[in-house]
Amino acid sequence: MFRNLPPATRAIILTNALVFLLQYLTRGAFDGMFALQPLGSYFEPWQLVTYAFLHANFPHIFFNMFAVFMFGGELERFAGTRRFVVLYLASVLAAAAVQLATAAWSGLQESTIGASGGVFGLLLAFALLFPRQRLVLFPVPIPLPAWLFVTLYGLLELVLGVTGTQAGVAHFAHLGGMLGGTLVIAWWRFQARPRGPYSRGP
């Protein structure tokens, strides 16, 4: 089953797994350098991407990579590998930007790790591209159309973020990932618009 995944989806999962193994073997020795740090003396530009390949524990990486496995393959087959990579990285970057802005506004000084921003971008893109496909929102085993599933999930993240529930979870980074996914899909649709009879072709 894993071999049937398209290349970028497979590479994301493998890279995260290898980095997690390295984290375990080194006891997180390099986490501080590559985690997303709040703007200030410890922030470095590469952290805008590298944070998305670090995870805190096995459940953290398992559920993130399970989501990439579930949604990434179909999205990559639909969009193509190059555009899928753009979608994922744009979601990761948007999540980082929103998290940095949130930390600066709130004074939060905690670092951020995890692929969740990229995952939420994939979820949002899936809902926009396949809105009627049925998904199951655990622990409620009721199939929901993708657009409703992701809308409810996004509202839940907003409520949890505003109320400060689940300390240690970057809810606004998740919403930032969804924003990144939205912007990429909007750009794809803009590019795909039919041109008028007097417009110049490429």
pLDDT digits (tens, 9 = 90+) for 91-109: 999 999 999 999 999 888 8
The pLDDT score that the predictor gives to residue 165 is: 75
The pLDDT score that the predictor gives to residue 202 is: 37
Instruction: Give dist(CA 145, CA 133) in Å, integer.
Output: 5
Where are the domains positioned within the chain?
2-190
Residue 130 DSSP SS3: coil
* pTM listed for this prediction: 0.90
pLDDT over 80 (residue 61): yes
**pLDDT over 70, % of the chain:** 94
The DSSP line for 14-34 is HHHHHHHHHHHHHTTTTHHHH
Closest residue by Cα to residue 122 from 181, 170, 45, 77 = 181
Tell me the pLDDT tens digit for each residue of 124-183: 999 999 999 998 766 567 888 999 999 998 999 999 988 877 777 899 999 999 999 999
Tokens of 94: 């948007």
At the topology level, CATH places domain 2-190 in: Rhomboid-like fold (1.20.1540)
The amino acid that residue 194 corresponds to is P
Which range has the worst mean pLDDT, 112-116, 121-125, 192-196?
Answer: 192-196
Tokens of 100: 């940095």
The pLDDT score that the predictor gives to residue 118 is: 97
CB of 134 closer than 8 Å to CB of 145: yes
